[in-house]
Amino acid sequence: MRNYSHPRFLIINTFISLNRGKPFRDCSVMRFYAESFHRHSANIGGINFYFFHRKLQSMIVIIEDLGVPKEKVEEKFSELGKSFEYYQTSPENESELIERCEGAEVVTLVSQEMNAAVIKQLDDLKMISVSFTGFDHVDTEAARKNNVTVCNVPEYATESVAELVFGFCIGLLREFRRCEKLVREDEKYDFQKPGIKGRTLEGKTLGIIGTGRIGERVADMAKAFNTNVVAYDLKKSLENIEYVSLNELLEKSDIVTVHVPLTDATKGMLDREKIGRMKENSVLINAARAPIIEKEAIIEGIREGKLKMGLDVPPKDLPEDVRRSDNIIFTPHIGFYAEESLENKLDVTVENIRKFLQGKPKNVVS
């Protein structure tokens, strides 16, 4: 939706023809504006008013839905005092994406891919505002080459993602899938049914791969369940936590949860060899990015009955038997998808743009 209130976006010229019968085409000034602008006319009290306006390309274009009510988005972006356009559907193809972005200095997106071919065609583009933590869907190298700043929202869903991790933990340890199926299908509370006896979190060892903001919050929450926490991270930034090698973490943890960004170094970091080091009947949780865990390792771990898994970002085209297994819980990348988190994300997104326009960019990733 276009915001026509800002003077940068809407130029209006009003002409009054006191000669009521004089045709519009006879006025050379009006002919110039007629060629350059859209014309609207009205007759008020016998006087012809001619209104001309030209729709200039919005300075800021939001190319897909931000997940909060439209009124909230418009309210927040209006605070910037710049023209903007908000699309609530994703572009159907690359041509439509380019058409939406043409002329804009700032493009805001969530998960829409921005590849090198698209970026090179957007001559006016100065900033890509990623309203999301992950930014691997934006070609940051192409952005650098074209002098385009890329910013993200590094922290907005810390609480919701950390809570989802423990939702997975409890759901898998207490056999939620089997229990729910039992009640739905039999409507009986048969405690002798095999496979429904659960385990508690208390006393378990929780291994955290990646101790950024989310990993740190998971470690804090784990204390409430009286779990032992170990971690693996090259930076070793947290105090009062035991850092170990990746192999040691996998070998001693009852639950392993992944919280690293997707990079060339982390892609496939948990392959079949690494997964093979995990304890029998342990739990693996991925609320980060799907490619961090090798697809074949997931298939093997489930088929062999060695692991339980909670995947907020499941890989595509898993075999049917794996998808239907009671030892795995899938969610469709909803770690961030809570009302409070989305409102936080909107606030940070707008603040990123504000700082960029002030010449003080923040949360810059490229």
Whether residue 129 is predicted with pLDDT greater than 80 in this model: the reply is yes
The stretch 239-246 carries a mean pLDDT of 96
| Structural domains of the chain ordered from first start | 10-55 (no CATH), 60-156+340-357 (3.40.50.720), 158-330 (3.40.50.720)
Structure confidence at residue 187 (pLDDT): 72
Q: Give the pTM.
A: 0.75
Structure confidence at residue 57 (pLDDT): 59
Q: pLDDT per residue over 54-105, tens digit each?
A: 344 579 999 999 999 999 999 999 999 999 999 999 999 999 999 999 999 9
Q: pLDDT per residue over 268-284, tens digit each?
A: 999 999 999 999 999 99
Higher pLDDT, residue 154 or 327: 327
Higher pLDDT, residue 35 or 343: 343
* 183 vs 194: CA distance, rounded Å: 14
The stretch 108-113 carries a mean pLDDT of 97
Residue 210 carries which side chain, given as an amino acid letter?
G
Q: How many CB atoms lie within 10 A of CB 87?
A: 16
Question: How distant, in Å, are the alpha carbons of 144, 175, 303, 317, 345 from that of 325?
Answer: 44, 12, 9, 15, 34
* 32 vs 257: CA distance, rounded Å: 66
pLDDT band at 43 (very low <50, low <70, confident <90, very high): low
* 60 vs 263: CA distance, rounded Å: 29
